[in-house]
Amino acid sequence: MEQDALGSESLDRAFMALADPVRRAMVARLSRGDATVNELAEPFAITKQAVSKHIQVLEHAGLVTRSRDAQRRPVHLDAAALERLTAWIDQYRLIAESRFRQLDQLLGAGVSHHEQENTPAKKKEELK
């Protein structure tokens, strides 16, 4: 049932990585081209060690990769990893939206209600 082809921990790290404005700004910067730690550190008032940690978080989350070019370690954004995240979210968003449309048809047009509906049947599953 779980089509988590990319493991729960991987999603943990990916979403956690994006749950920080500094790292999101880095993603935004990297979308325009590879950059080094120092270049990524410039806009922020934090030490380079902190920036290095942020990049390690992004790397461990699979969102960026790194290569070596002399002393420099350019950081590269992995667009495919971003796509995997949107795929996970859309999976459930589309289910919810289609369910909402079904309900809207059942209630008939013109009935403006607040969005609450009950599940037709309670499925009590036990998995621990």
Partner DNA sequence: TCATTGATCAACTGATTGGTTGATTAAGAG
Partner DNA sequence: CTCTTAATCAACCAATCAGTTGATCAATGA
SS3 4: coil
Which residue from 4, 20, 90, 117 is in contact with DNA, where contact means CB under 7 A? 20
Rule CB under 8 A: is residue 57 a binding residue for its own copies?
A: no
Report the residue from 73, 93, 99, 101 that binds DNA according to the rule CB under 7 A.
73
Q: Is 106 in the site for its own copies (CB under 8 A)?
A: no
- Check residue 71 for interaction with DNA (CB under 7 A): yes
Cβ 73 vs Cβ 59: under 8 Å:
no
Site membership for DNA, residue 91 (CB under 7 A): no
69 contacts its own copies (rule: CB under 8 A): yes
Is residue 107 involved in binding DNA (CB under 7 A)? Answer: no
